[in-house]
Amino acid sequence: MTTEQIKQIVNNICYTQKTYSYINKELKKDYSPQRIRALIRKAIFKATQLEQNGEYISIYTPASNLKIIINSHDFHIIAVMKTKKTIHRKRITKYGYARVSTTDQKLENQIELLKAAGAEKIYQEKFTGTTTERPEFKKLLAQLSKDDTLIITKLDRFARNTKEALEIIQMLFALEIKVNILNMGLIDNTPTGQLIFTIFSAFAQFERDMIVTRTQEGKDFAKKNNPNFKEGRPKTYTDEQILLAYKLRQKGLTYKQIEQQTGIGSKTLQRRFKTIK
């Protein structure tokens, strides 16, 4: 229909007291006649679909979730009904993450590689000074959802160490999100992805063993040379790990299930979740 035809419909609609009562009943409202006329007028002008079938004109406007049927001869409103909102399935998205650890380094090379790999939206991050906060990475994690893919150029762009990377990947697995490390491969629930994950686990275990050895040597030295030395340090988790655990909670997992998948204690989860809410 042309704009002129739409204007003709709007200007010639016939309203009666019965029409107002009917519309309020259908919409479950108690609108005044003036408001009803304004509502119908706005709905028609914003309509995305106008069809004439014989003596009836059907008008559909998703903005107001209204379907209006008008008699084309006398312009009486035959029906006004609320329509169900159309549920659009989220489009699967490929996200990229680029990071450099000093202000002197450039992000351009990483960004080019991420684009070539199909990244549709890229989050960029530069560390300043000695801070380890990654606000852009947190924003990215909040955006990720089922079937999305996170693309990074190298493992060290993703996490501070292999252990942290594995923990994040494991939580992404639980959320059904794929991780594509360009110099290693796609990590998902396929046999190849699981193989890569197993290799990562072996490296992580080796890294942990080396850390334990060095830590023990350091403790032994401190015990001998520092009379005020006290052993023990509370286990901490990064904001990124807590955010991913929180998303598991939003999916309906219990604290016990999240603890089994992430290794983070229930009390820690409850305490840290309060800072997110």
Token match 């530069």: residue?
A: 126
101 is catalytic: yes
Least Cα distance to 44 among 75, 85, 21 occurs for 75
Amino acid at 248: L
Least Cα distance to 97 among 115, 122, 134, 128 occurs for 122
- 3-state DSSP of 180-222: EECCCEEECCCHHHHHHHHHHHHHHHHHHHHHHHHHHHHHHHH
Rounded Cα gap, residues 14 and 154, in angstroms = 67
Say if CB 70 and CB 78 are below 8 A apart.
yes
Rounded Cα gap, residues 26 and 19, in angstroms = 11
Task: Choose, from 21, 72, 101, 266, the residue flagged as catalytic.
Answer: 101
As a residue count, the chain comes to 277
Structure tokens at 11: 């200007």
Which residues are part of the catalytic machinery? 101
